A and B are shown apart, each in its own frame.
Chain A
Amino acid sequence: MTDPKASTSLAQSIARRDFIRKAASGTVIAAFGGGLYALSDHLTSEAKAQTRADGRARIPPGQRVISALKPMGGQPGDPSRGNVKIKIHGEVDNPFEVDFRELLAMDVVDTRADVHCVTGWTMLDARWKGVRVKDLAAKAGLKKTARHVIFEAAHGYTANVRLDEGLADNVLVTWEHDGRPLRRPHGAPVRALVPDLYFWKSSKWLTGIRFTRRDQPGYWETRGYNNHADPWKEERYA
């Protein structure tokens, strides 16, 4: 006959061993997964060691480098380049509208810029083709009274940017990304590009650029997001 005490002790021992085995397997799997994650994030590690020409860190705090733009939603506008009409207006002497062919006929720049999304991803060295906002402003005859730039987009979306930041050399009206026409989820046919602010300032499905005397917080800025949106200061929320 089996000794009940010995049987209970054996059962406990098996249960303990089983628990230890499962715990060890779990630890190994978790460690392996973590290791893979760490390996896959070498892009972020490399970027963290770099510094920009302006002395700031290549990657702003709290960001992780990814290899392709992510679609971040929004209400798409008309996707046809044939229907592009970007209105340049507000505090300017000569407001005008520019269509896609006229954009192509302007001084087109092909440049590289890092972009940083408020949700925590950064894409480095993204290639962009477009025209500088400062060239459009010059063509319209920007008044000295202008202090802010409002990027207007489909369905009433707007994003506000300080004038000096909106007229920086790397701020574009762009229609090509990484050698391809801009894709619909990324604002085709034409979007703004303001690389040194969080990416929501780079309005997709652009319809106009309005220069204003007074600041006019835009879609996200009136919904709890920071009015300025400097990634290096982690100005994510209001």
Chain B
Amino acid sequence: MPEAAPSDPPAKSAKRKKKFKWRPWLRALHRDLGYLAVGLTFVYALSGLAVNHIADWDPNFSNFEREFVVEAPLPEGDEQAAAAIVLSAAGIDETPLDVYSPADGELEITLETSTLFVATETGKVYEEGQKERFALRAANWLHLNRGKKAWTWFADGYAGALILLAVSGMFMIPGRKGLVGRGAVLVIAGIAIPLAYLAYVGGP
């Protein structure tokens, strides 16, 4: 039996009805961009929260200070020996970055995360330093684009992706009333909030 010719009327009409459906593509784009953006969204959001409240806390370091006394007088003229005694008494097992005597009777021991200021005649030691909040500092470093160079391209790409996410998010699922329903109210509210704030504070 001969096969049906491609020009048969029923097959042709079925082919005509097969329209391009853009929503599934939009949803797929939104979903995949969303997956890609998860990591950076956490970086920017957490860092944004941290840096926004910089007047209340140090988002990069936790700071500390302490005072103690070591046996005095410390050896005069041998800064390294004096530093070794102080570090041993302080329970610090670290090679100093610098040992420096700015004036007679004063010794300063610079370590990676702290500095010890020593009065060599009295043995009084004041230590001040800071410990890195590792993950948060890294996030802040990225957020504020301290490294510049290639990160600028990533950051720009992320900003572009956020715009795409916002736009695709509006259209990916048709509401019962389309865009004029709840979606429109929320979009208008989202735009109105910053405008209302600008009006309230009198502009930039």
Q: Do A and B come from one complex?
A: yes
Chain A residues with a Cβ under 8 A of chain B: 70-73, 75, 79-83, 100-101, 104, 117, 119-121, 155, 180-181, 183-185, 188, 237
* 20 extra interface residue pairs, beta carbon distance < 8 Å, beyond A82-B102, A117-B55, A181-B115: A70-B58, A71-B61, A73-B60, A73-B140, A75-B146, A80-B100, A80-B110, A80-B115, A81-B102, A82-B98, A82-B100, A82-B110, A83-B98, A100-B102, A101-B102, A120-B55, A181-B128, A183-B63, A185-B61, A188-B115
**A184 touching B129, Cβ below 8 Å:** yes
Count of CB-CB pairs between chains A and B under 8 Å? 70
Task: Tell me, rounded to whole Å, the shortest Cβ–Cβ distance linking A54 to chain B.
Answer: 27
* Chain B 36-78 interface residues, beta-carbon cutoff 8 Å to A: 51, 54-56, 58-61, 63, 65
Considering the chains assembled together, what is the distance between the CA atoms of A18 and B146 in angstroms?
53
The 8 closest A-B pairs by CB, nearest first: A82-B100, A119-B55, A80-B98, A71-B58, A80-B110, A82-B98, A183-B128, A181-B117
Residue of B nearest to A184 (CB): B130
**A81 touching B61, Cβ below 8 Å:** no
Residue of A nearest to B204 (CB): A237
Residues of B within 8 A of A180 (CB): 126, 128
Residues of A within 8 A of B60 (CB): 73
**A183 touching B102, Cβ below 8 Å:** no
Residues of B within 8 A of A70 (CB): 55-56, 58
Residue of B nearest to A223 (CB): B144
Number of interface residues of B (CB under 8 A): 28
**A119 touching B54, Cβ below 8 Å:** yes
Residues of B within 8 A of A119 (CB): 54-55
**B1: interface (CB < 8 Å):** no
A–B Cβ pairs within 8 angstroms, 12 of them: A71-B63, A73-B54, A73-B60, A80-B100, A80-B110, A100-B100, A100-B102, A119-B54, A180-B126, A183-B65, A184-B63, A237-B204
**A181 touching B100, Cβ below 8 Å:** no
Task: Tell me, rounded to whole Å, the shortest Cβ–Cβ distance linking B96 to chain A.
Answer: 9
Residue of A nearest to B113 (CB): A184
